[in-house]
Amino acid sequence: MKLKHGLIVLMLLLGAAGFALAQTAAPPTSAPVPAAATPAPAAAPAPTPPTGSPGAPGSIDAQAKINSGDTAWVLTSSALVLLMTAPGLALFYGGMVRKKNVLGTIMQSFIILCLISVQWVLWGYSMAFGPDKGGIIGSLAWFGLSGVGYDPNPDYAATIPHQAFMIFQMMFAVITPALIAGAFAERMKFSGFLLFTLLWATFVYDPLAHWVWAIGGWLRNMGALDFAGGTVVHISSGVAGLACALYMGKRKGYGTEAMPPHNLPLTVLGAALLWFGWFGFNAGSALSAGPLATVAFIVTNTATAAAALAWMGAEWLHRGKPTVLGAASGAVAGLVAITPASGFVTVLSSILVGIGAGVFCYIATSIIKNKLGYDDSLDAFGVHGIGGTWGAIATGLLATKLVNPAGGDGFFYGNPKQLMIQIIAVAASWAFSFIGTMIILKVVDSLVGLRVSTEEEQVGLDLSQHNEHGYN
C-alpha cells in the first residue's frame, strides 16, 4: 500500500509539473536577472547587456555577444561533470559494496541522472537561480526554462548562452543527491530512493544553491565564498548522508561480520574518472576559458595529489600498511576540499588544503565513525561532509584577491571577517541539510517506506529490487 501511495505522489508531482508547464506564459521582459553563481574572471569585462528580454528563446543574433571559446569550455565542462556521476561515482560506489548490491548501487547513480535532468528543466533551475524571493528561494518565473534561452545572462555568465549556464549547473544538481547514496548503500528501497531524491533535490539542494550562488541569496549577500560547491554540494550531501545513516540504522551484520569491497579495481577506476571529471567541476566554474580556469585546474590537481598522499601516510602510520582504497579515498577527499577554494587560493595553499583533507577525512572515517558506531556505508559523510567543511573553512583562511580580484581575502591575508562568514555558511548548510533531510526521510518513510526487509537485504538489492544479477 505504501508503494502504491508513493508512486501516486511521484506521478502527481510530475503531472502537476507538466500541467503547469503547459499553462506557463513567458515572463515579462522586465523580469529581474540573477547574478553569477561563481565569480567571473575580473579580466573579462562584461559586454553590453542585451536590449531585449534576457535569454529570450530564439534570439540567434545574441551570438554577437557570445564567446565561442568560453561556450565550448563550459559545455565540455558540463559533460565532464556528467561523467563524474555516471560512470565515475557509479563505479566508485559500485566497487565498494558487496557483490549482491553492485547493480542496485550503480542504478542509483544512473537513474538520478535521468530524474534530476527532468526536475531541473521543469522547476529546479528556476527555484535555484530564478528571480529572488526574500533571499531564500528563486521564483517559478523560469519554470520549464521559460525565458531561459540563447542570450547571455550578464549577471551569471556574460559570454555564454544562458542555456549553457543552466546545463552546467544541472550537472551539479545531479551529482549532489547521488553522493548521499553512499551513506545508505545496501539497504534503501528503490521506490523510497526515487521519492527521497526528488523531494531532497527540490527542498534542500535548490534552496541552498539559491542562498549561496543566486543574486539576492542571503549567504551570497553576506559574502560567503564557494567557488564550485563546498557548501552547496559537499556539505549538503555529506550531512544529509549522516542523517540518512542515523535514521535508517545499521546494515544487518554491521560490526559483527566483514563487509569488504567486492571489486576494488572498479572503485579505483571510478576514483580516476572522478578526478578527471572534477576539472570540469572546478575549472568549469570559472565560466570562461582563461586565467581563472587555469588556476582552478592546477590547484584541483595539486590538492588532490596532496590529499591522497596525506591519507596514505596517515593510514600507514595508523594501520601499518597503505591501501589502494585509502589512496583512492584520499584523492576524492582532496577533490572535495579544494572545490570551494579552487578559484580563490594559490597553488601552494592548495597543498595545505589537500593535506588537511587527507588527514581530517581519514580520522573521520577510520577513527571517529568506529567510536560513534553509525553506519555511513561508503563514507559519504566522512569524505564529503568533513571534506566540504574543511574546504569551506580553509577558503576563509587562505583566499586571496591576488588569485581572484572578484573574490576576497581570507584570515591569513588580513581579513578575519571572511573566516567568520565562512563559518556561518558552514553552520547554516549543516543545519538546513540535516533538518531538511530528516523531515523528508520521515515523509518518504510514511508514504512508501525506506528500508528493504531483512530478507531482501540478505538477498541483496540486485535481486530484491531489480531482479537481476551483477555477475554471471
Query: Which DSSP state fits 235?
Result: I
Q: Domains of the chain: which residue ranges?
A: 62-139+148-460
Q: In a structure prediction context, what are the per-residue pLDDT tens digits for the chain, which is 472 residues long?
A: 554 444 444 544 554 444 444 344 333 333 333 333 344 333 333 333 333 323 333 334 445 489 999 999 999 999 999 999 999 999 999 999 999 999 999 999 999 999 999 999 999 999 999 999 999 999 999 999 999 999 999 989 999 999 999 999 999 999 999 999 999 999 999 999 999 999 999 999 999 999 999 999 999 999 999 999 999 999 999 999 999 999 999 999 998 999 999 999 999 999 999 999 999 999 999 999 999 999 999 999 999 999 999 999 999 999 999 999 999 999 999 999 999 999 999 999 999 999 999 999 999 999 999 999 999 999 999 999 999 999 999 999 999 999 999 999 999 999 999 999 999 999 999 999 999 999 999 999 999 999 999 999 999 999 999 999 999 8
* Cα(315)–Cα(326) distance, integer angstroms: 7
Task: Please give the grid coordinates belonging to residue 28.
Answer: 515579462
Other beta carbons within 10 angstroms of residue 191's beta carbon come to 20
Phi then psi dihedrals of residue 141, to 5 deg: -60, -25
Nearest to 386 by CA among 363, 410, 409, 414: 363
* DSSP three-state, residue 137: strand
Report whether 28 contacts 123 (CB < 8 A).
no
* Cα(454)–Cα(465) distance, integer angstroms: 13
Task: Please give the grid coordinates belonging to residue 379.
Answer: 563514507
Q: How far is CA 461 from the centre of its chain?
A: 25
Which residues neighbour 118 within 8 Å (Cβ) at sequence distance 6 or greater? 14
The CATH number of domain 62-139+148-460 is 1.10.3430.10: yes
301, burial (CB in 10 Å: exposed 0-12, middle 13-18, buried 19+): buried
Helix (H) / strand (E) element for 132: namely strand 132-133
Which residues neighbour 129 within 8 Å (Cβ) at sequence distance 6 or greater? 34, 37, 138, 142, 156, 166, 169, 209, 210, 213, 214
Render 294-329 in DSSP notation, one character per residue.
HHHHHHHHHHHHHHHHHHHHHHHHHHSS--HHHHHH
Angle at 460 between CA 111 and CA 454, to 5 degrees: 115
